[in-house]
């Protein structure tokens, strides 16, 4: 009997002590990103340029209030990201080209407030076209921007944006993926004859 009483008290003590909460908060986690497989299709013939973009993305008309006819957005729903494309005709006017290049530079420079650094580089595509690429590091809305022109008729500018407020370090895999997507776009740009 004494043994049963001691055993009962021991079990009761274990039950009471196990009910105490020693809660430790867990560190904030981030969602696992599943990046789409790289498969591409060509833009429609209605544009004065063409390029390849992901089959997992949606090609949409630009929705900004200053949109123009040949501006588009390439939206990646799984990543909540898009590549915003603007296009202007230069019409063999050096002053128009200079103004477009200055405007593109100003738009990139606006990120200097929050950027840790802006690395600009000129690249040559497999088809011989030249692009100016700006990679922007830091907590900025656009981490990758580019401009392309043939210096006489066409000017194209692109910028990668994410529709989220998550810190860029947690978006690093998605940012790198979108940079690769933008580089594929750059490498496949073709100007259409007027």
Q: For 26-30, what is the mean pLDDT?
A: 60
* Whether the Cβ atoms of residue 41 and residue 56 lie closer than 8 Å to each other: no
φ, ψ dihedrals at 140, nearest 5°: -115, 155
CA-to-CA separations, 56 to 25, 36, 39, 95, in angstroms, rounded: 37, 7, 8, 39
Distance in angstroms between the alpha carbons of the first and the last residue of the chain: 102
φ, ψ dihedrals at 105, nearest 5°: -65, -45
CA-wise closest residue to 98 among 54, 51, 147, 64 = 147
Fill in the DSSP letter of residue 192.
Answer: P
Residue 164 has pLDDT above 70, yes or no: yes
* Whether the Cβ atoms of residue 162 and residue 79 lie closer than 8 Å to each other: yes
Domains, the chain, with CATH or none: 74-191 (3.40.1000)
The residues facing 170 across adjacent strands are: none
This prediction has a pTM of 0.78
Q: For 119-141, what is the mean pLDDT?
A: 89
Q: Band the pLDDT of 17: cuts 50, 70, 90.
A: low
Fill in the DSSP letter of residue 44.
Answer: P
Residue 48 half-sphere exposure toward CB, CA atoms < 13 A: 18
Residue 165 has pLDDT above 80, yes or no: no
Per residue in 103-116, pLDDT (tens digit) is: 888 888 877 777 78
Taking the alpha carbons of 127, 132, 138, 140 in that order, is the dihedral positive or negative?
negative
């Amino acid at each position: 009997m004494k043994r049963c009483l001691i055993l009962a008290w021991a079990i009761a003590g274990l039950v009471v002590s196990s009910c105490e909460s020693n809660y430790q908060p867990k560190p904030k986690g981030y969602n696992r990103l599943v990046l789409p497989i790289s498969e591409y299709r060509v833009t429609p013939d209605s544009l004065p340029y063409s390029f390849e973009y992901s089959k997992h993305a949606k090609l949409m008309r630009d929705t900004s209030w200053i949109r123009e006819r040949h501006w588009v957005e390439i939206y990646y729903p799984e990543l909540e990201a898009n590549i915003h494309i603007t296009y202007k005709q230069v019409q063999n006017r050096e002053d128009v080209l200079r103004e477009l290049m200055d405007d593109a530079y100003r738009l990139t420079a606006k990120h200097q407030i929050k950027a840790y650094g802006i690395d600009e580089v000129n690249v040559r595509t497999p088809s011989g076209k030249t692009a100016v690429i700006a990679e922007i590091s830091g907590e900025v809305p656009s981490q990758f921007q580019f401009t392309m022109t043939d210096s006489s008729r066409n000017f194209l500018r692109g910028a990668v944006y994410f529709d989220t407020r998550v810190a860029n370090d947690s978006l690093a895999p998605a940012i790198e993926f979108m940079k690769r997507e933008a580089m594929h776009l750059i490498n496949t740009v073709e100007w259409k004859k007027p």
